[in-house]
Amino acid sequence: MQSVWAWGLASVGLLIGLGVYLAPLQPSIVALQFTFTPGAFQAVLNAWGAQGVQRFRMHLPVDDVLLLCYGAFGFLLTRRTAWFGAFSPAAQRRVATLMPLAALCDAIENLLQGYLSGLQIPAAAPWYAVAGGVATVKWLLLLLFVLCAAWAVRRKPAP
């Protein structure tokens, strides 16, 4: 049980730290995550300027640690605690995959955005669409996990 909360606290700590570190970027990093074209992606990078792009690129290794932490936390919270006791065993297994799948999408997003933000000439348009797509799927999986957790809190565990 302690490992579950350790992963959770590590996730929260890293999220807060990255939030503070990335706060100067305007528009926010979320704006970059929802770009799907070279023009939209480049517009965010241009707004950030060279120092902002460097700040973004420097955060990626720490974000990789964060995604490992939140992926492990979601899985362990679902599988090692009674939090999701109202779910059937099959539903618990499905919910347990949500955060790790979100983390996988986040890792792909980081790889693509790290690569794309370092280019002097824009890459082929589909790469930007893929980066925006995996970011969108990541956010949807995270939202679905939160909704499942909220639903679980409102339900009594199954006998």
- Whether residue 107 is predicted with pLDDT greater than 90 in this model: the reply is yes
pLDDT of residue 79: 94
pLDDT of residue 119: 93
For the chain, what are the domain ranges?
A: 2-154
pLDDT of residue 153: 85
Alpha-carbon dihedral 93, 95, 97, 101, rounded to 10 degrees: 170
DSSP 96-158: HHHHHHHHHHHHHHHHHHHHHHT-SS---HHHHHHHHHHHHHHHHHHHHHHHHHHHHHHSPPP
Mind listing the pLDDT tens digit for each residue in 53-83?
A: 999 999 999 999 999 999 999 999 999 998 8
- Whether residue 118 is predicted with pLDDT greater than 70 in this model: the reply is yes
If you average pLDDT over residues 5-24, what whole number do you get?
Answer: 97
pLDDT of residue 157: 54
